Amino acid sequence: MPHSHLELIGQMAGTGQRNRVPAALPLSTCLEVLQKMSMDRNAYEVRVEAATKEEAKDIASRSDRKLALQEEQLQVQKDQVQIQRELLELQKADREEWVMSMDLEKLSPWVQEYYINKQKQISAMSLRGDGSSGPRGQ
């Protein structure tokens, strides 16, 4: 004699009686089994929902970390661009200083004229406060 209703159903399944309920199985037993199945299904759905919410939190957390990393990389690139700009300005200043300190007497007249014009441009920009002549000032 089986000890529980589930064992009785298990025995029925083993004998090929899956599709028919024996007359000896009381209606209350069937209702209990259905209630148990319903509770198990509800518990399963709750677990699935909790797992889905946890997975969504994990995805959001990974997305947040990825976004933070991208923002950090963008800041690094901005800093690198700023450093390159500063280096370029220093190079321009060095070039202007070199042009302003040239000894023009040893050069041919047309080269002298070129560098005199450059010196005038540099001086004019310096007086206006434009800074380096660079590509924008030429």
- Domain membership of residue 86 (yes or no) is yes
pLDDT at position 6: 59
pLDDT at position 50: 87
Could you give the CA distance from residue 101 to residue 123 in angstroms, rounded to a whole number? Answer: 12
Give the mean pLDDT of the chain: 83
- Domain membership of residue 135 (yes or no) is no
- Domain membership of residue 138 (yes or no) is no
Number of domains observed in the structure of the chain: 1
pLDDT at position 27: 82
- Domain membership of residue 104 (yes or no) is yes
Query: For residue 52, what are the domain limits?
Result: 5-130
Phi/psi of residue 84, each to 5°? -65, -40
- Domain membership of residue 137 (yes or no) is no
Q: Of 123, 135, 129, 117, which is closest to residue 97 (Cα–Cα)?
A: 123
pLDDT digits (tens, 9 = 90+) for 34-91: 888 999 899 999 888 888 988 888 899 999 999 999 999 999 999 999 999 999 999 9
